[in-house]
Each structure stands twice: as C-alpha cells, then as structure tokens.
C-alpha cells in the first residue's frame, strides 16, 4: 500500500468515524464551569464502544451487529466489568471509567473510545468496513475491483488467538462463515455468508465488494469455559469440566509463572496469597473472590470450586526490596531481597567469591530509619564453620567482600 493510499485511508477513516459515531440528538447536555456544552449519557442511548486490540469487547451498531445500549435504569452492562451507572456521565467520563475498571484486573493500559450511535447514512462515502475477528477493525477506503480477501488483508488479517500445547485457546475467527452485509437498491439489506477458507484454497472465487459493504468476521462460540490470566505460564480460555477447582485451573494454564533476570535472580513472581476469581451472576452483577492459593497448596484449606464463565486472575508480586553486593564476588550487583535473605545466601546468589576474597572481613553497610549509616563486620568464614550465626539482611543493605591482604 503506497503512501498516498494510506493517507487517503486515514482521512476517510477519520471523516467516516465522525459520521458513523458522532453525537446523537437523543443525548442531553449540560454546561461546565466554562459554559461549554457537554453531552451527557441518558437511559436508552446507543453507544459504539471500541477497545483497542480487544475485538471481543468492541461492539458497534451496524446493519448486522449490535453495539452497547444504556438500559432503562441508566446502566451500561459491559463484559468483565458488569454494570456501570452511565447515565449522567459525559462520554469522556465514561471512557475514563471503562479504562480504569478494565485496568484493575484485566488489561494493561487499555485504550477505549466511546461514541454515540446515530442513524445518519454514511455509506454514500467511498468506503467499506471490517468488523469482528480481524486485527484492525474499522472503516477503509474502497477502490475499484476490491475483493473480500483484499479487505481482510487491509484490516491486518484474521485476529488469531494463540493456542497452548494442549490445544486450548481463548477463541478463533469463524472463517467459514464470514458475513458480507450489502444494501440493495430498494433499501433492504442482504447478508451473504462466505466460507473464506474455500477462497484461499481455490475452491471458490473471491467476492467482489461494493461501496458501503460491511464485512463481519464472527468469533467461534466457546461456551462452557473459564479463563485464566495474569502471572501464569499460559494465559487463555479453557474447556470447563465437572469438578474444576482453582488449582486445577491454574495447572491447565501451565502453573504459576515467575520472572528472573539473566543470572537467574528472581524479579517477579505470582502473588499466590491473593488470587482472584471474578464471577458474574445471571443479572451481570460481578463478584470478586480473593483466595489464598498458597494455603490450598500447603493443605491448610480446601481447594476452591471454579464455575463456567469464571475468570481466574493471578496478580504479580514484584520483588521490590533489594540488597547489593560488591567486591570479590563473581557477580556484583543488586539482588532481590528474598525472605530470610542472609549474608551467606547473598554471596551464593552472586555466584560465590573469588580466590582473592577475605571471608573474615566482610562488611555490611546499613542505613537506619533515621537516615544514619551503620557499618559492621561479618566473619563469613566462622559462619561457614558453624561457629557464628548467619546475619539476616535488610532492604538497602550493601555487602562488601574485600580482597585478602597478603
């Protein structure tokens, strides 16, 4: 795609987004402190909401798909989050709430766009749309002899979700039932279902597109499943089976994960004591259950049952506190201060000492709570000989192993 075409596509996309998703006359308005008019959401409003890179959360009103609608109580029911009292908010305020709530447990730095739906016909513009399970949903410039696979390619191709080594996956595009919605001269809609796999395999010819066509790539339905996300080895959605429990669910996701540096030092691990189970009831009311998986693993409490539709969220725990080691060790540097970290253990983490190390004059520098500095000597040779107890380190301690004096 050359630069002029990309520029044309961008310009048309911007214009058409305003036409398709601009403010509806149904929204009510108020004034802010600067006397600026602000549209406010109210019960019954229809909203197009786009969550970047999250096609399953993105919903738009099109002739063959439904966006989000604020119910009679002024509530917006949103996947993963549940009910939000949207009535009275501006679109900007609603966008902020959605981003904040999604970032709490589910997504990293989510980017949300919210628009009112309006019924103005934007199809007179020279465009086609790609929605659903493609990598980049949106409105694209139409060009002569454009075909179905051309649009799918322009939209980045199908949005594939990785499978783990057991074949489990969060979802996948229904490439055998791609829908092409087209307005006919009499104003009616015709929806054709196309098996794109047959096009790619050469078993049928490609489908020519027309101005205004809307292509929807559905997601395959994955019913009766549960999801595991966060600090596990393989995030994803898994088939539910009777008797599913928290530890079994985490095991299906490959178990708890951890992050280590080049030298094998632990930098980040799963917070096993604060695993969350997010569950929705029939009314889309969300309940978050916090479970101590460590207690379950140690046998001090029973495993927790998982239900269809549950989302297990394993938070991460950063090893923020550190101690430093310098001098005659093989790997000088800063190390995570693990529980019960001692001088001898830190030396071991640093790869041991060199042949020039003076193990009888190791020094520890410690900054106390009032900011004063204390330096004390540790005879590591006596600790190793069992003559003295090891010294437990505190956050910020600096251990120095000097060179032996001949």
DSSP string computed for 201-237: TTSSPPPBP-TT-EEEEPBPP--SEEEEEESBSS-EE
Pairing of strands 275-280, 286-291: antiparallel
C-alpha span between 328 and 161 (Å, rounded): 49
C-alpha span between 365 and 372 (Å, rounded): 11
Q: Which of 153-157, 278-282, 354-358 has the lowest mean pLDDT?
A: 278-282
14-31 pLDDT, tens digit each: 434 434 444 333 344 444
pLDDT higher at 77 or 35: 77
Q: Is the pLDDT of residue 283 over 60?
A: yes
Q: Which two tokens stand for residue 140?
A: 């694209």
**pLDDT band per the 50, 70, 90 thresholds, residue 165:** very low
Highest mean pLDDT among 185-194, 251-260, 288-297: 288-297
Q: Which two tokens stand for residue 261?
A: 């540096």
- CATH number of this structure's domain 225-318, picked from the four choices 3.10.560.10, 3.10.290.10, 3.60.15.10, 1.10.10.10: 3.10.560.10
Q: Which two tokens stand for residue 242?
A: 């009777």
**pLDDT band per the 50, 70, 90 thresholds, residue 248:** very high
Please give the backbone phi and psi of residue 19, each rounded to the nearest 5 degrees, phi first: -70, -40
Give SS3 for 159: coil
Mean pLDDT of 54-83: 79
**Domain coordinates of the chain in residue numbers?**
23-116, 127-217, 225-318, 322-401
Please give the backbone phi and psi of residue 179, each rounded to the nearest 5 degrees, phi first: -105, 135
Give SS3 for 4: helix
Q: Is the pLDDT of residue 125 over 60?
A: no
Tokens 């513009």 belong to residue:
125
Mean pLDDT of 301-317: 89
What single string gives the DSSP state of each residue in 162-212? ---TTS--S--B-GGGEEEEEE-TTS-EEEEEE-HHHHHTTSSPPPBP-TT
Mean pLDDT of 144-170: 71
Tell me which H or E stretch contains 384: helix 380-384
C-alpha span between 236 and 114 (Å, rounded): 27
- CATH number of this structure's domain 23-116, picked from the four choices 3.50.50.60, 3.40.50.1360, 3.20.20.70, 3.30.1950.10: 3.30.1950.10
Mean pLDDT across the chain: 79
The CATH number of domain 127-217 is 3.10.560.10: yes
Give SS3 for 362: strand
Q: How many CB atoms lie within 10 A of CB 254?
A: 16
Tokens 């002029």 belong to residue:
4
What single string gives the DSSP state of each residue in 266-278? EEEEE-GGGEEEE
Category of 371 on φ-ψ map: left (φ > 0), alpha (ψ -120 to 50) or beta: left
Percent of the chain clearing pLDDT 90 (strictly above): 33
pLDDT higher at 135 or 101: 101
Judge whether 221 and 266 are in contact, CB under 8 Å: no
Helices (H), 30-157: 91-105, 148-154
Mean pLDDT of 362-372: 83
Q: Which of 142-151, 256-265, 342-351 has the lowest mean pLDDT?
A: 256-265
332-359 pLDDT, tens digit each: 888 878 778 999 999 998 999 999 999 9
What single string gives the DSSP state of each residue in 320-358? --EEEEEESBSS-EEEE--TT-BHHHHHHHTT-B-TTB-
**pLDDT band per the 50, 70, 90 thresholds, residue 254:** very high
Q: How many CB atoms lie within 10 A of CB 208?
A: 11
pLDDT of residue 7: 41
**pLDDT band per the 50, 70, 90 thresholds, residue 83:** confident
Give SS3 for 87: coil
Tell me which H or E stretch contains 314: strand 311-314
Mean pLDDT of 389-400: 91
Q: How many CB atoms lie within 10 A of CB 106?
A: 19
Q: Which two tokens stand for residue 183?
A: 């307005």
pLDDT of residue 136: 80
Q: Is the pLDDT of residue 124 over 60?
A: no
pLDDT higher at 204 or 105: 204
**pLDDT band per the 50, 70, 90 thresholds, residue 264:** low
Instruction: Classify domain 322-401 by CATH number.
Output: 3.10.560.10
pLDDT of residue 21: 40
- End-to-end CA gap in the chain: 72
Judge whether 268 and 321 are in contact, CB under 8 Å: no
Q: Is the pLDDT of residue 258 over 80?
A: yes
Asked if domains 127-217 and 225-318 share a fold, the reply is yes
Residue 84: which of 108, 63, 114, 55 has the closest Cα? 114
198-215 pLDDT, tens digit each: 999 999 999 999 988 888
C-alpha span between 303 and 244 (Å, rounded): 10
């Amino acid at each position: 795609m050359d630069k002029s075409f990309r520029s044309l596509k961008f310009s048309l996309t911007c214009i058409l987004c305003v036409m398709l998703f601009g403010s509806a006359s149904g929204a009510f308005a108020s004034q802010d402190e600067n006397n600026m008019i602000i549209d406010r959401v109210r019960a019954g409003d229809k909203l197009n909401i786009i969550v970047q890179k999250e096609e399953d959360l993105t919903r738009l009103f099109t002739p063959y798909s439904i966006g989000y609608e604020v119910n009679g109580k002024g509530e917006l029911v949103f996947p993963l989050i549940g009910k939000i009292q949207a009535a009275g908010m501006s679109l900007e305020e609603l966008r902020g709430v959605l981003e904040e709530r999604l970032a709490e447990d589910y997504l990293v730095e989510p980017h949300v766009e919210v628009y009112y739906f309006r019924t103005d016909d934007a199809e007179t513009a020279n465009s086609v749309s790609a929605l659903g399970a493609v990598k980049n949903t949106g409105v694209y410039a139409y060009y002569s002899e454009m075909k179905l696979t051309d649009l799918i390619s322009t939209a980045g191709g199908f949005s594939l979700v990785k499978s783990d080594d057991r074949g489990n996956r969060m979802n996948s595009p229904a490439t055998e039932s791609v829908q092409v919605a087209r307005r006919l001269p009499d104003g009616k809609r015709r929806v054709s279902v196309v098996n794109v796999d047959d096009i790619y395999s050469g078993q049928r010819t490609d489908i020519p597109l027309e101005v205004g066509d809307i292509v929807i790539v559905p997601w395959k339905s994955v019913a009766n499943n549960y999801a595991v996300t966060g600090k596990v080895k393989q995030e994803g959605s898994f088939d539910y089976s009777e008797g599913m429990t928290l530890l079994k669910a985490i095991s299906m996701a490959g178990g708890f994960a951890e992050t280590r540096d080049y030298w094998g030092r632990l930098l980040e691990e799963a917070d096993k004591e604060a695993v969350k189970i997010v569950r929705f009831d029939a009314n889309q009311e969300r309940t978050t259950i916090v479970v101590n998986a460590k207690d379950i693993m140690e046998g001090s409490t029973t495993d927790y049952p998982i239900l269809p539709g549950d989302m297990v969220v394993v938070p991460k725990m950063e090893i923020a506190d550190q101690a430093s080691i310098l001098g005659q060790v093989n790997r000088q540097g800063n190390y995570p201060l693990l529980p019960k970290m001692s001088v001898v253990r830190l030396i071991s983490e640093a790869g041991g000492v060199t042949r020039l190390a003076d193990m009888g004059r190791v020094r520890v520098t410690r900054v106390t709570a009032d900011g004063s500095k204390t330096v004390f000597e540790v005879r590591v040779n006596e600790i190793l000989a069992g003559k003295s107890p090891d010294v437990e380190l505190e956050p910020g301690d600096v251990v120095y192993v000097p060179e032996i004096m001949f």
